[in-house]
Amino acid sequence: MFTIDNISKSIGRKTILRNCSLQIEPGKFTAVVGPNGAGKTTLLKILSGETKKFAGEVKLNGKNISNFKNHELSKLRAILPQHTVVNFPFTIEQVIEIGRYAFKDSSAAKEEVIDKAIALTGLEKYKGRHYQTLSGGEKQRVQMARVIAQLLHNSPDPKYLLLDEPTSSLDLAQQHALLALAKKQCNRHIGVLAILHDLNLAIQYADDILFLKEGQTVAYGACNEVATTDVIEETFSHPVKLIEDNGQLIIVPKSILNIQTKNLNTISYGQFS
Amino acid sequence: MQIALTNKNISKHTLTILLMLGLFSVLFLSSLAIGSVTVSPFDIVLVFAQKLGIVSGIDEMKELVLINIRLPRLLLTVSVGAALGISGAALQGLFRNPLVEPGIIGVSSGAALGAIFVIMFMGTVAPALLEVSRTFIMPLFAFLGGGLATVFTLKLSKFEGKTQITYLILAGVAITSLAGAAIGLAIFYADDAQLRSYTFWTLGDLSSATWEKLNILLPLIGIACTGLITMSRSLNAIALGESEAFHSGVSVEKVKLLTVLFSAMAVGVSVAFTGIIGFVGLVVPHIIRISFTSDHTLVLPCSAIGGACLLLLADIFARTIVIPAELPIGVVTAVIGTPFFIYLLISSKKKRLI
């Protein structure tokens, strides 16, 4: 269990996070949503161990996060960034291998893990390709393979995968492919937390959801319970309408709805994302 | 299947290094043989055999040339080339910027300031020390100047307890221009002899090698190069970004500090004894990356060997083209290296690797 208990963080006089609590459970997908400047990135930096000064307590598998050594931490949690620029011509295998930095693999074992990560992310046909020659979606998939490789080891302790707005530069199909891949990791005793910009993506994939606004929790709980019109409108300060389609919730921002109410059925998904 | 794949990779790594070492040996032996006194490969073997007491009665002149002149010079060339090549590779990796050359941390210009300080004042303050100053005082001041400049650069780039790469580059630029201004002022007041002395120092000089100098230089460069090679894996991770490296378990701050310090040590010692030799640190790592791979575990050692090779080759030309005079090594390095680099650049553009 990754437990965040009552954390607050301010920079100067500005409060970035106030009394924020949540739990990432192994096998569950938790989404964090909120408008720009809500403190999502700060929350992730505290969880990753990058930001060390904050009030409150963060415990990873029962142990205070500040008591972990850097290499111990990297075996328990991995972070997928928004996008990663590599300035040198690395092959995809070389990029994925960086996920194994903290491990003392033999080269045979390393090869095996990299192959497995490639298989898990469906990158077989890109073997040997240079990272720089890939498209945005393919690059993100390689990064996903890297963080999966980082968590590929037999340890009785639960592991965690943190995603920082991983879909922001991807197209529709790629967004879903990536989140499906992240969701699949829950089956391997991994707890997943994703900061997401797209509310519809969040409610489709998340088990739990945290709504953040100006550093404070608006609502937190099981997605199907807390994702209500009120909570969403309060969080984003924008009127929305929730529509149910075959048991799947769709969030439609209202001002657009007003213009095109009658044509709702013909509106494609992409216009909202 | 798995094992076969791995073996293939290991041998690829080893093969590349062996290839580089082969090239290096050929250049080293040729360089030992070529010069105004020609020493055949057979003579080389004989001279070394005599040193070990196996044979005797070898031409004393040949022994003198080989042991006291050519060998120290070659060792100086090799170690300086290796130092510049590996520091360039490491700093490019650390700054995640292929345009970085070792001078960026301020070490070269600081060393130049130290050198011109000695050139300007040593003659007037203590003329008797002039002879000693050529050998040791100037390198000492150059090293101190380079070291101080690097320490200032590092201090200036600290922000919220972390070394910020952007500030590091800007601080390097600031320290370089400050030293440049001081050098300019010194040049303004310098007489013709001092000016000439300084100009030649900035073009690099390998001819003054002695065993005494090597006793200082070899261990220092050896330590710096070994230190940098241990950074290879961390530099691979840093190529993805500092956060990404931290998330993968790299102690980013430690790596930054050690890489800058080891590079400053390698370059500082080199510049102190040979003057400024440009180009090697900037271009050799690229030649290695384009020819083989960007994996720092290979780029770092190969850049060291490659730097040594390029400088050996340049040195052969420098001291044979205008016998009995010598061309400045910095000029020859650029003349040999640039066309090759341009060729690699054009061919890699086709492969879209840069």
Q: Which residue has the higher pLDDT, B159 or B75?
A: B75
Average pLDDT for A222-235: 92
Task: Give the mutation candidate from A88, A105, A143 for the B interface (greatest B CB count, under 10 A).
Answer: A88
Q: Is the separation of the CB atoms in A180 and A11 below 8 Å? A: no
Q: DSSP state, A51? A: -
The Cα B60–Cα B65 span in angstroms is 9
Please state the domain count of chain B: 1
Q: What per-residue confidence (pLDDT) applies to B124? A: 63
- Which of A19-28, A50-59, A248-257 has the weakest average pLDDT? A248-257
Is B9 in Cβ contact with A81 (below 8 Å)?
no
Predicted confidence at residue A30, as pLDDT, reads 96
Looking at the predicted structure, is the pLDDT value of residue B296 above 50?
yes
Choose the closest CB to A87 out of B96, B237, B249.
Answer: B96
| pLDDT for B83 | 96
Least confident of A150-164, A247-261, B70-84: A247-261
Amino acid at B194: Q
Model confidence band, residue B4 (pLDDT cutoffs 50, 70, 90): very low
Q: Among A255-259, A268-272, B211-215, which stretch is predicted with the lowest mean pLDDT?
A: A268-272
Cis previous bond, B324, omega within 30: yes
Contacts of B232 in chain A (CB under 8 A): none
Query: Residues B256, B94: contact at Cβ < 8 Å?
Result: yes
Rounded Cα distance between A19 and B23, Å, is 64
Looking at residues B95-110, what average pLDDT do you find? Answer: 82
> Mean pLDDT, to the nearest integer, of B206-229?
90
> For A41-59, what is the mean pLDDT?
92
Q: What does the pLDDT read at residue A44?
A: 94
Tell me if B352 and A133 make a contact (CB, 8 A cut-off). Answer: yes
Task: Output the pTM of the full model.
Answer: 0.85
Closest approach of chain A CAs to the CA of B231, in angstroms?
Answer: 12
Cα B174 to the chain's mean position, in Å? Answer: 23
Is residue A75 predicted with pLDDT exceeding 70? yes
A175 touches B at CB < 8 Å: no
Tokens linked to B269: 């010692």
Query: Residues with Cβ < 8 Å from A7, sequence gap 6 or more?
Result: A17, A19, A20, A21, A43, A46, A54, A55, A56, A57, A58
CB contacts, 8 Å: A107 with chain B: 6, 9-10
Beta bridge partners of A20: A7
E strand or H helix at A231: helix A229-236
The residue type at A78: A
What is the greatest pairwise CA distance in chain A? Answer: 63
Which of B98-102, B145-149, B292-296, B303-307 is modeled with the greatest confidence? B303-307
Q: Return the bridge partners of A160, or none.
A: A77, A191
Q: What are phi and psi of B323, to 5 degrees?
A: -50, 135
- Residues of chain B in contact with residue A84, where contact means CB-CB under 8 angstroms, are 240-241, 244
pLDDT at A270: 44
pLDDT of residue A268: 47
The structure tokens listed for A164 are 């920082």
pLDDT at residue number B326: 83
pLDDT score recorded for residue A258: 58
Q: Which residues of B touch A41 (CB under 8 A)?
A: none
Q: Does residue A5 register a pLDDT over 80? A: yes
CB-CB under 8 Å, B98 with A87: yes
Residue B2 confidence class, pLDDT cut points 50, 70, 90: very low
β-partners of residue A221 are A209
Give, for B25, the enclosing helix (H) or strand (E): helix B2-33
Interface confidence (ipTM) of the complex: 0.88
Contacts of A150 in chain B (CB under 8 A): 248
Q: What's the CATH code of the domain at B199? A: 1.10.3470.10
Question: Does residue A128 sit at the B interface (CB-CB below 8 Å)?
Answer: no
**Per-residue pLDDT tens over the stretch B78-95:** 999 999 999 999 999 988
Instruction: Choose among A74, A94, A133: nearest Cβ to B247.
Output: A74
pLDDT score for B67 = 84
Q: pLDDT of A8-38, one tens digit each?
A: 999 888 899 999 999 999 999 999 999 988 8
On the CB side of B236, CA atoms within 13 Å amount to 28
Contact status of A148 with chain B (Cβ, < 8 Å):
no
Pick A269 or A198 by higher pLDDT: A198
B347 lies in which domain range? 2-351
What pLDDT does A220 receive? 95
Half-sphere exposure of A21 (CA within 13 A, CB side): 6
pLDDT at residue B61 is higher than 90:
no
- The yes-or-no verdict on residue A265 having pLDDT over 60 is no
pLDDT at B354 over 70: no
Res B228 pLDDT > 80: yes
Answer yes or no: are the C-beta atoms of A210 and A217 closer than 8 Å: yes
Dihedral, CA atoms, B206, B212, B214, B216, nearest 10 degrees?
-120
Distance, CA of B59 to CA of B74 (rounded, Å): 21
Region B188-215: mean pLDDT is: 83
- Picking from B120, B292, B100, B86, the residue whose alpha carbon sits closest to that of residue B194 is B120
Give the tens place of pLDDT for each residue, B261-292: 899 889 988 988 888 888 889 889 988 988 88
Q: How far apart are CA A25 and CA B352, in angstroms?
A: 44
Higher pLDDT, A9 or B40: A9
Query: What domains are there in chain A, each with its CATH number?
Result: 2-237 (3.40.50.300), 238-273 (no CATH)
Q: Which of A98, A115, A147 should we substitute to test contact with B (largest number of B Cβ atoms within 10 Å)?
A: A98
- Chain B, nearest residue to A68 by Cα: B249
Residue A272's pLDDT is what?
A: 45
Residues of chain B in contact with residue A112, where contact means CB-CB under 8 angstroms, are: 2
Q: Reply yes or no on whether the pLDDT at A253 is more than 80.
A: yes
Q: What is the mean pLDDT of residues B151-155?
A: 85
Per-residue pLDDT band for A259 (boundaries 50, 70, 90) equals low
Residue position matching structure tokens 């065993």: B211
HSE (CB half, 13 Å, CA atoms) of B113?
23
Q: Please report, for residues A112, A237, B300, B301, the alpha-carbon distance to residue A107 in angstroms, rounded to integers and kept in the order given.
A: 9, 53, 19, 19
Residue B105 has pLDDT above 90, yes or no: no
